[in-house]
Amino acid sequence: MGKKTKAVNNRQSGGIDFIRAKKKVGKTIRKNANATDTTVRAKRINLPGQTSLGGEGKGDAVTSRGLSLGELLNQTGHYSERVRKDALEGIRELLENHPGAMGGAAAAVVE
């Protein structure tokens, strides 16, 4: 059986309890009075002064890749041969570019 509209209900000579309104072409459907607004508005927050959130590497000498001596020393124990090689190249770069900064970290390099 199809959907009942007002004309069908009148023919059945019953009550008009459940009437489906006919949809008109080009007419917009009105929103219910109790409809919930579900739109979400968000804005982006830019913090240009906080590019580096980590405390490590502040004021330290870093390589061209932005790695400090501590990070490079951690990478020397990596399982990958390529990562270990890159770490040693980074330590060499630090020695060439910042020779004075390596004096205090000589004990860590020897370990």
Q: What Å distances lie between residue 34 and 14, 30, 31, 65, 99, CA to CA?
A: 30, 12, 8, 57, 72
pLDDT at 79: 93
Rounded to an integer, what distance in angstroms lies between the CA atom of residue 37 and that of residue 40?
Answer: 9
For the entire predicted model, the pTM comes to 0.45
Q: What Å distances lie between residue 104 and 61, 78, 99, 100, 101, CA to CA?
A: 12, 24, 10, 8, 7
Task: List pLDDT tens digits, range 26-81.
Answer: 888 888 888 888 899 999 888 777 555 454 445 678 888 888 888 888 899 999 99
Q: Which residue has the higher pLDDT, 105 or 86?
A: 86
Q: Band of the pLDDT at 82, cuts 50, 70, 90? A: very high
The pLDDT of residue 105 is above 80:
no
pLDDT at 85: 93
Nearest to 18 by CA among 8, 1, 2, 4: 4
pLDDT at 57: 43
Rounded to an integer, what distance in angstroms lies between the CA atom of residue 107 and that of residue 111?
Answer: 6
Rounded to an integer, what distance in angstroms lies between the CA atom of residue 65 and that of residue 90?
Answer: 8
pLDDT at 91: 86
